[in-house]
Amino acid sequence: MGSGSEEAAADDGGRRGGDHRRCDEVHVIDPVRIDQVIDSTGAGDAYAGGFLYALTHGFDLAACGRMGSIAAAEVISHFGARPETPLGDLIAAAGG
């Protein structure tokens, strides 16, 4: 990457949680636990969306992973790839 930029990598990790790295910084994020996986369609996209939203809004890498995990957990808890509960409400309830 060009001068003044940072490289970051994120792996959603599926059911085992995610690994997030930036330079020497590494975070292992536990997945958000749900009672039952109903439909995994869109889980990776939801994770990426939550992660990238947080990253572009100045959150630290650990918070990015938590937001991605919250978004993915919501999507897999029902049929269909769109959240049924507003993600902002879920993130606020989780303390984010």
Closest CA to 61 of 74, 76, 50, 46: 50
| SS3 state of residue 56 | helix
Residue 2 has pLDDT above 60, yes or no: no
pLDDT recorded at residue 86: 92
* Strand pairing category for 8-11 and 25-29: unpaired
| Domains of the chain listed by start with CATH number | 8-93 (3.40.1190.20)
Q: What is the pTM of this model?
A: 0.76
Q: Say whether pLDDT at 24 is over 80.
A: no
Pairing of strands 18-22, 8-11: antiparallel
Structure confidence at residue 20 as a pLDDT band (50, 70, 90): low
Can you give the pLDDT at residue 31? Answer: 82
40-75 pLDDT, tens digit each: 999 999 999 998 999 899 998 889 889 999 999 999
Per-residue confidence at 18, pLDDT binned at 50, 70, 90? Answer: low
